[in-house]
């Protein structure tokens, strides 16, 4: 793990009012880089993410809520709303991912918050954005992936659209929300003024769809599902070896020539069917069959050694066991072991990207229970007396 230096966002305070994935992932990114993240959860069960995922205790929660402090507040009650406003008044950034209009209904309209706290940055993450005819619709990540174009092109051509095994729509929108917050921080440094960051899940997906829109607007081409290949990008596929599957990406002319040398078939690089990027794209299926005929006669380790020797981009298909055993993961500390009160320690992905002078780090595990830091935050930050806290707890406010 990194040393104890504060991260680049040390000194910033974030109030996170989101739940499930998008808002909390944005908070995770900011917390990983050193910001103090105070998560407001409803009293009782708290964020549903505490129950999501495998196992009796959510391991997903342990990742997305690391480096955070949990306080409880019932935002449906005026007293809970008042507590939230007091916390927000002492924060640099507010994150929320409720349906548009929810904050306004809780007397926490961001425009009003900015009037009393002009330097505040409000990150609002939602399915369709804060404006437009769909803005008030319920919008989860999968719906955004469908609307943004992702789902239609994922899967095998002869099957219905598939999905990734992770919540990519949510995490993309959260990442763009984080980018927006950091951009707004720079603007605030110049002007002293905060602003609202509007990150829509479907737009975050749309942003990474490469040339999908220009292809249609210029040529009328609608991209289709292509399974494990990229259309007209060859060779770039997963090839079966004698003991498993291996990914090879040699679509550039010079790299393809090295692959041909590696396979002992240098003549393929001069074959008119494969000599150019365009030609390989036209003959993609035939070329994949030629390469797989070679890989199937060899074990993965042998193929990998040959690819490395010839400078061909290629790699094994990793699962968690391979990640934990790989020397490159270990050398870069890509996986970190975090002390934990329940398991003794827990392994998870580290903080990325890596900064040379002020690296982020996992400073603390996820909060064990809802309101774990009520006393610390409400007493030390807001100055509430123990008796007042007890009364708030008894009345269901915290």
Tell me which residues are annotated as active site: 170
Evaluated on CA atoms 318, 324, 325, 327, the torsion sign reads positive
User: Which two three-digit tokens encode residue 159?
Assistant: 């099957």
Helix 300-309 / helix 253-262 crossing angle, nearest 10 deg: 130
- Reference 361, options 109, 114, 115, 1; nearest CA is 1
Q: Check: CB of residue 300 under 8 Å from CB of residue 316.
A: yes
CA dist 238 and 257 (Å) reads 19
Surface-to-core class of residue 116, CB atoms within 10 Å of its CB (0-12 exposed, 13-18 middle, 19+ buried)? exposed
- Reference 125, options 172, 174, 88, 169; nearest CA is 174
Please count the residues of the chain.
Answer: 398
3-state secondary structure of 295: helix
Q: Check: CB of residue 262 under 8 Å from CB of residue 312.
A: yes
Cβ-proximal residues to 381 (8 Å cutoff; 6+ apart), any chain: 87, 90
Neighbours of 36 (CB within 10 A): 21
Surface-to-core class of residue 272, CB atoms within 10 Å of its CB (0-12 exposed, 13-18 middle, 19+ buried)? exposed
Give first-to-last CA distance, the chain, whole Å. 35
User: Which two three-digit tokens encode residue 311?
Assistant: 């400078």
Chain-centroid distance, C-alpha 73: 27
3-state secondary structure of 271: coil
The phi, psi pair for 303, rounded to 5°, reads -60, -45
């Amino acid at each position: 793990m990194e040393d104890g230096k504060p991260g680049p966002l040390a000194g910033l305070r974030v109030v996170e009012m989101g739940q499930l994935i998008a808002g909390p992932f944005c908070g995770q990114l900011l917390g990983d880089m050193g910001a103090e993240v105070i998560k407001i959860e409803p009293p009782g069960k708290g964020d549903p993410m505490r129950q999501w995922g495998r196992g009796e205790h959510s391991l997903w929660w342990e990742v997305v809520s690391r480096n955070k402090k949990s306080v409880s507040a019932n935002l449906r009650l005026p007293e809970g709303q008042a507590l939230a406003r007091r916390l927000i008044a002492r924060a640099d950034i507010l994150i929320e991912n409720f349906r548009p209009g929810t904050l306004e209904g809780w007397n926490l309209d961001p425009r009003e918050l900015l009037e009393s706290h002009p330097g505040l940055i409000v990150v609002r993450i939602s399915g369709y954005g804060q404006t437009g005819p769909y803005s008030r619709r319920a919008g989860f990540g999968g719906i955004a992936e469908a609307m943004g174009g992702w789902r239609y092109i994922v899967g095998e051509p002869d099957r219905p659209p598939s999905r990734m095994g992770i919540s990519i729509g949510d995490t993309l929108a959260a990442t763009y929300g984080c980018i927006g917050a950091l951009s707004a921080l720079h603007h605030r440094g110049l002007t002293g003024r905060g602003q609202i960051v509007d990150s829509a899940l479907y737009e975050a997906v749309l942003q990474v769809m490469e040339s999908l829109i220009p292809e249609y607007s210029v040529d009328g081409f609608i991209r289709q599902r292509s399974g494990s290949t990229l259309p007209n990008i060859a060779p770039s596929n997963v090839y079966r070896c004698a003991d498993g599957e291996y990914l090879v990406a040699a679509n550039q002319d010079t790299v393809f020539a090295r692959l041909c040398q590696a396979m002992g078939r240098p003549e393929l690089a001069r074959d008119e069917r494969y000599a150019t990027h365009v030609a390989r794209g036209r003959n993609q299926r035939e070329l994949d069959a030629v390469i797989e005929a070679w890989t199937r006669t060899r074990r993965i380790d042998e193929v990998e050694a040959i690819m490395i020797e010839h400078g061909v981009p290629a790699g094994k298909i990793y699962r968690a066991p391979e990640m934990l055993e790989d020397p490159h993961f270990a050398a870069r500390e890509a996986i970190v072991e975090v002390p934990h009160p329940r398991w003794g320690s827990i392994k998870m992905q580290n903080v990325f990207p890596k900064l040379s002078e002020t690296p982020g780090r996992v400073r603390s595990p996820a909060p064990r229970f809802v309101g774990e830091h009520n006393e610390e935050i409400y007493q030390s930050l807001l100055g509430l007396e123990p008796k007042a806290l007890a009364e708030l707890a008894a009345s269901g406010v915290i």
